[in-house]
Structure 1
Amino acid sequence: MTLAVAGFTALALLLPATAGAQEGGGQDEGPVVEAARQVTSNPDPSRLFVIPEIAVHPDDPSRLALVAGDARNGGCYVYTSQDGGQSWSSGVNIAPAENPFCYQRNFGPASDIQWAKDGTLLVAFSGSSVENNHPNGPTTAYVARSEDGGQSFAVTTVAEGRSGVELTTKKDEQVEAATVNYLMNIEPDPTNADVVYVGWKWRARGDFGFRDIPNKTQLAVSTDGAETFGDPVNLTDDFAPEGVEDFFGSDTAMIGVDSQGVAHVLAQERPSDGDKPASLLYWRSTDQGETWDGRALDVQADDLDSPDVAVDPTNDNIYAVLGKRTEGENGWLEP
């Protein structure tokens, strides 16, 4: 597999999975950008809707779905549009009663939303409760599925957050921690609607240092259209990537699936030493997530935030985009 890197304000990677990449043609004048439209209708002055995620129906571009959470008041809402975003539904709260706050962050989306091949709407999100130390307590990963275009949802627990978990730090100290499953990514197989992958980052929170316990790249696979999911797969520990010196931890699994059903995952390395550059990690599976082959790609930086993946359905080329931070003597360098 060859690798080409193109530099913009972020990096773009090209991992050709098959031969026959298309030659670039002429460029058009680009899309017409219309004025912004209000999606949420909540009049509460304390509302705090954070970064949303949006998905376009694969067979009807006028049908849209969007997920956004209220970070201050709780709730994780899915809004739908039938007219290309001209108007939006009032929103369906998919957050379970026991964990009403879906996880949010300031630097990018924490939830993900996709349409499956058969028109099922899928949402991956994570939730916690103020009664259990939200936002620093245990956080549970969920998948919500809708067969009626976003009017109603069934929610499945994928990985449960727990309190009082006994763990060992890199200094061999015994500590108690809350387990956090968050920064979700979901990807249905484009040729088989029964197969759905969901990925996230596992981390521990407690009275210890940020790098004392490694982050884990985790995912789970469904073979019944996201009605149920198998046990979480720990790529960090069980399928450690080759070519990483002193491998310690890694972040969220960002997933793409090609037309042959091969699953591809990118994640950022999370070294135990903050001064060590992070590598971009890559895994692939040809057996619906039963086994994985992983390695480090020839991309490193002080920070590689949330690499995202897309697969070209016409030729199975795999593209990735990520933020690459490198600090000079006076701070940030020019891209």
Structure 2
Amino acid sequence: MSSPKFLNLSADTNRVGRACAWIERDDGAVLMTGLDWGGWTLPGGGVQPGETSAEAALREAWEETGARCEVRGEPLPLRGAHGEPADCWPLRLLSLDPSPEGRPVAWVNPRALPWADDVQLRQVLAARGELPACLDLPPLVSVARQEARRLSFDRSCSLETGRLLRTLAASKPGGRLLDLGSGVGESAAWLLAGMDGAARLLTVEADPLLAETAWEVLAPDLRAEVLHGDWRGALERGPFDLTFADCAPAKETAAVAELVASLKPGGLLVMDNFSPPGRLPEALYGGDPRRDALFGHPRLTCTELEVSRRERVVLAVKR
């Protein structure tokens, strides 16, 4: 494991929260700081015992960017890439010197892509009503997310995977699509957002409460049919142009042959939640049977997409 590129002036792990800084110039540009792995982030870090989150944001802004600032408003609650909560404080820049930690800094336009889609910037822009329209959530996805929060359901597909599903669904005009593992209906809602008017979606959920919730979420769209039952029963309704296999039993290596058999030639099989090598569980250091089953199947042509720093998705086309 290589050592960090930059100094860490507040390496104490005894933290009582997290805070970050939104430092915006008069022209709308926002100050970002470099990460060890080469990406960019808002300056921020842990709140140390004895300091407020505002004091932590001011301290981290100076340590990571060399910015001397003052607080200019109330904080916004954010979630980081791994779901960790943080207070994002709007700060007014007073002076800017080289970063004491040796980090690079950049002024970016947060309202333009790709910056507007950053996990932190996107939340601030949304709270301020400034998110670009192309990044708005489809209406049914928003409803599904509300239901997920109500039920404390945390197994919906990620935002990045959802967008991929929407794009793939748009490639199947008039297609028949299958969603295995409805959850509260979020993945199905993403698929519906990409489908044309002639396409149809079947989504299946084994849990009765989740199936009922998904039905209520998706009921406004007549292209969707929600089933409560076993995923294998849905395969009999094939063949399908696209299948998103998102329930644990359908992701087992033994299920691949059945999934492939239910696809049309040229049909897509999509599986999410594969870890990049840097985040791979130690149990898979000797190999990943799920990957082997997909990439080794004689009728599939597969590729692996990194949809985020923490997640990869396998796309497989039936030959």
TM (norm. structure 2) is 0.29
TM-score w.r.t. structure 1 length?
0.28
Q: Which has the higher contact order (CA 8 A, sep 6+)?
A: 1
Higher strand share: 1
Larger Rg: 2
